[in-house]
């Protein structure tokens, strides 16, 4: 007994002297105590210097130490909040590189037509929404997908008119490139048989020239401009809803593509009040580049919760609506090679604006889906780099969906980031070959090819085009198993990537795409304390089970912003 306590005493002494020695050599003052410790965890840090750890210590909003349980325990003080992860997997918070955050937040309370599997169900859900819509308000949102119906025909105003009366309805297709208006909406917008088409858009018409209710791409604006703008209060409420949703899914940062300036104003107010729990990088439309440049905003300007300084552009449409701009005609629509966006009429107009935005120090992020649109964007980026020189501008192509094989080298050489959404591959992969044919589909969602060419991948969702849940994205990236169950070993399996690569793209890759790789993206001392605890260790699961994994706890800047109600 005596010898036993003696042993304990010596080992304690040894520990004390170790601490004293370390303290003397590293800092003359005593080490401050952590405000938060997450311990007993299986941490995957996404930091190549130290990929694995058991615990992390946080002071305020920053990580101060990452290490073994014993190492981190030395940061514990009387006030330290300690979270026992009970052996669960801890990752850096997910950074979604492409969302439409306010549209997503708004959609949480809008009619959801995503999984309406028949026109009858489509009408039924709109009827339910109409019953809770106040007089004078619009029914919007929807995100329907007619390819899921037994007879996949585009809907018409006739689906909605019998139930909607005077209430205007304008519900969009899930990809946002087509939308359906009822007669009341068209009346309010002053659209009728005489309304001409607009550049970059199509008004679908019946045999006698009357609009059917479907508006494609730029033509959607004819109806949208009749919808009263959201109030500031509505926007604040929606931003909070969106942030709550993000926290519940472990998403701690987002890049909001083409927000309205009023959206940014709502974020700004929430950030100032300390109420923002999602870090936002806002990239307003490139057509407004001067508004940012005039006040000297450059890339990634702002605070840790809200940054500006990127511009978002559009080169073309989408594959679903056959408006992606292609070198060859669509396999299922001979003669149609897609559409350039209206901002690309002519392409030199977009080029000139981007040239000026780059000169002003703004980051350029441009939507391009078809192989020809991507190629044209690379031409434009090459022109800009030639004129202004390379200075780590981090151009990005958003989506970069269907690549011409010849363009991978150029993509890499110009240091362009591929900002991609893996979920689209398992969703659109159900029918993409119908549009493209087997051969041309080969370099679709080509993550493996991008990585092998040394291109940085930044992952996201395009929420609300796809669900915001990162687990679905990781699942898609490693399985490429389409949602219809028809590609069990993966659609174009050559383009699968590993789980570690997918996690990397969803954390460090996205952080790099917003110039924040020194601030976040990995669990590293000095970085922002944005971490998530997952219900299961995705590295130990069968790949198909990854999509069912839940987030247990989400921490942003050292504060717990989400905790799952029932822990098991």
Q: Given the structure tokens 């209710």, which residue do they identify?
A: 213
257-276 binders of Zn ion (CB under 5 A): 257
User: Which part of the chain contacts Zn ion (CB under 5 A), choosing from 53-61, 247-255, 256-264, 559-567?
Assistant: 256-264
| Closer of 63 and 465 to Zn ion (Cβ) | 465
Specify whether the CB–CB gap between 329 and 432 falls below 8 A. Answer: no
Single out the residue of 534, 545, 434 nearest to residue 479, CA to CA.
545
Shortest CB 518 distance to Zn ion, Å: 27
Shortest CB 57 distance to Zn ion, Å: 38
Which strand (E) or helix (H) includes residue 531?
strand 531-534
Angle formed by the axes of helices 261-272 and 232-248, nearest 10°:
70
| Closer of 257 and 384 to Zn ion (Cβ) | 257
> What is the Cα–Cα distance from 135 to 226, expressed in whole angstroms?
16
CA dihedral in degrees (60, 62, 65, 66; nearest 10)? 120
Backbone angles phi, psi at 490, to 5 degrees: 110, 135
Backbone angles phi, psi at 535, to 5 degrees: -70, -30
Shortest CB 259 distance to Zn ion, Å: 11
Specify whether the CB–CB gap between 226 and 189 falls below 8 A. Answer: yes
Shortest CB 299 distance to Zn ion, Å: 19
Shortest CB 460 distance to Zn ion, Å: 9
Shortest CB 407 distance to Zn ion, Å: 21
| Closer of 113 and 285 to Zn ion (Cβ) | 285
Shortest CB 226 distance to Zn ion, Å: 23
Specify whether the CB–CB gap between 474 and 250 falls below 8 A. Answer: no
Q: Is the peptide bond before 414 cis (omega within 30 degrees of 0)?
A: no
User: Which part of the chain contacts Zn ion (CB under 5 A), choosing from 308-316, 415-423, 454-462, 530-538?
Assistant: 454-462
Single out the residue of 562, 567, 557, 561 nearest to residue 60, CA to CA.
557
Specify whether the CB–CB gap between 114 and 174 falls below 8 A. Answer: yes
Shortest CB 98 distance to Zn ion, Å: 6
DSSP string of 544-565?
GGGGG--EEEEEETTEEEEE-S
Rounded to 5°, the CA angle 38-39-40 comes to 145
> What is the Cα–Cα distance from 429 to 419, expressed in whole angstroms?
18
Shortest CB 100 distance to Zn ion, Å: 6
| Closer of 365 and 480 to Zn ion (Cβ) | 365
Shortest CB 60 distance to Zn ion, Å: 34
- Taking CB atoms, the residue at the shortest distance from Zn ion is 462
> What is the Cα–Cα distance from 368 to 258, expressed in whole angstroms?
14
Indicate the length of the chain as a whole number. Answer: 568
Q: Report residue 416 as tokens.
A: 């362009």
> What is the Cα–Cα distance from 110 to 325, expressed in whole angstroms?
31
Specify whether the CB–CB gap between 567 and 552 falls below 8 A. Answer: yes
Specify whether the CB–CB gap between 53 and 67 falls below 8 A. Answer: yes
Size of the site for Zn ion (CB under 5 A): 2
| Closer of 260 and 383 to Zn ion (Cβ) | 260
Task: State whether residue 7 is helix, strand or coil.
Answer: helix
| Closer of 119 and 313 to Zn ion (Cβ) | 313
| Closer of 254 and 426 to Zn ion (Cβ) | 254
111-130 binders of Zn ion (CB under 5 A): none
Single out the residue of 173, 185, 177 nearest to residue 211, CA to CA.
185
| Closer of 365 and 496 to Zn ion (Cβ) | 365
| Closer of 342 and 462 to Zn ion (Cβ) | 462
Binding mask 313-352 for Zn ion (x = CB under 5 A): ----------------------------------------
Binding mask 45-64 for Zn ion (x = CB under 5 A): --------------------
| Closer of 441 and 465 to Zn ion (Cβ) | 465
Shortest CB 327 distance to Zn ion, Å: 23
Shortest CB 367 distance to Zn ion, Å: 6
Binding mask 226-255 for Zn ion (x = CB under 5 A): ------------------------------
Separation in Å, CA 301 to CA 99, 280, 296, 297? 19, 11, 9, 6
172 binds Zn ion (CB under 5 A): no
| Closer of 176 and 211 to Zn ion (Cβ) | 176
351-380 binders of Zn ion (CB under 5 A): none
DSSP letter for 509, please: I
Shortest CB 396 distance to Zn ion, Å: 12
Binding mask 456-485 for Zn ion (x = CB under 5 A): ------x-----------------------
| Closer of 251 and 531 to Zn ion (Cβ) | 251
> What is the Cα–Cα distance from 297 to 99, expressed in whole angstroms?
21
**Where along the sequence are the contacts to Zn ion (CB under 5 A)?**
257, 462
């Amino acid at each position: 007994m005596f010898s036993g306590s003696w042993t304990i005493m010596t080992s304690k002494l040894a520990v004390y002297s170790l601490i004293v020695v370390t303290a003397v050599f590293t800092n003359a003052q005593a080490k401050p105590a952590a405000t938060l410790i997450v311990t007993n965890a299986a941490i995957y840090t996404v930091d190549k210097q130290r990929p694995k750890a058991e615990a992390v210590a946080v002071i305020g909003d920053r990580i101060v130490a990452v290490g073994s349980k014993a190492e981190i325990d030395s940061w514990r003080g009387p006030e330290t909040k300690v979270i026992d992860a009970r052996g669960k997997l801890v990752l850096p918070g997910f950074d979604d590189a492409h969302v439409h955050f306010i549209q997503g937040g708004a959609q949480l309370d809008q009619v959801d037509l995503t999984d309406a599997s028949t026109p009858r169900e489509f009408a039924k859900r709109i009827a339910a929404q109409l019953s809770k819509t106040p007089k004078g308000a619009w029914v919007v949102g929807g995100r329907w997908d007619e390819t899921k119906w037994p007879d996949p025909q585009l809907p018409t105003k006739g689906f909605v008119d019998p139930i909607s009366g005077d209430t205007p309805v304008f519900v969009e297709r899930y990809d946002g490139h087509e939308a359906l208006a009822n007669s009341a909406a068209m009346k309010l917008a002053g659209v009728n048989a005489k309304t001409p088409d607009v550049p970059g858009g199509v008004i679908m018409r019946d045999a006698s020239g009357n609009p059917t209710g479907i508006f494609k791409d730029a033509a959607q604006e004819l109806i949208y401009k009749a919808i009263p703008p959201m109030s500031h209060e509505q926007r604040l409420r929606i931003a909070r809803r969106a942030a709550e949703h993000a926290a519940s899914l472990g998403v701690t940062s987002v890049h909001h593509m083409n927000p309205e300036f009023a959206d940014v104003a709502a974020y700004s107010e929430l950030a100032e009040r300390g109420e923002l729990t999602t870090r936002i990088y806002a990239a307003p439309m490139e057509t407004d580049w001067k508004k940012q440049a005039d006040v000297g905003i450059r890339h990634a300007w702002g605070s840790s919760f809200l940054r500006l300084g990127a511009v978002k552009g559009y080169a073309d449409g989408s594959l679903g609506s056959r408006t992606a701009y292609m070198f060859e005609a669509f396999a299922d629509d001979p003669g149609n090679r897609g559409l350039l966006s209206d901002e690309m009429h002519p392409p030199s107009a977009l080029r000139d604006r981007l040239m000026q935005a780059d000169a002003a120090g703004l980051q350029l992020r441009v939507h391009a889906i078809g192989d020809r649109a991507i190629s044209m964007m690379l031409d434009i980026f090459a022109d800009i780099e030639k004129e202004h020189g390379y200075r780590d501008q981090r151009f990005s192509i958003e989506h970069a969906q269907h690549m011409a094989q010849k363009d991978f080298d150029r993509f890499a050489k110009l240091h362009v980031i591929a900002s991609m959404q893996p979920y689209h591959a398992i969703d659109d992969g159900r029918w993409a070959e119908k549009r493209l044919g087997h051969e041309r589909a080969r370099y679709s969602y080509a993550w493996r090819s991008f990585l092998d060419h040394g291109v940085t991948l930044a992952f996201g969702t395009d929420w609300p085009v796809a669900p915001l849940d990162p687990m679905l994205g990781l699942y898609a990236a490693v399985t490429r198993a389409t949602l219809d169950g028809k590609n069990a070993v993966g659609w174009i399996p050559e383009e699968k990537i590993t789980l570690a690569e997918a996690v990397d793209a969803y954390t460090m890759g996205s952080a790099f795409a917003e110039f924040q790789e020194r601030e976040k993206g990995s669990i590293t001392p000095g970085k922002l304390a944005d971490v998530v605890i997952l219900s299961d260790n995705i590295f130990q699961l069968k790949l198909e089970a990854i999509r069912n994994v839940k987030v247990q706890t989400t921490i942003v800047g050292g504060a717990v912003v989400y905790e799952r109600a029932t822990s098991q």
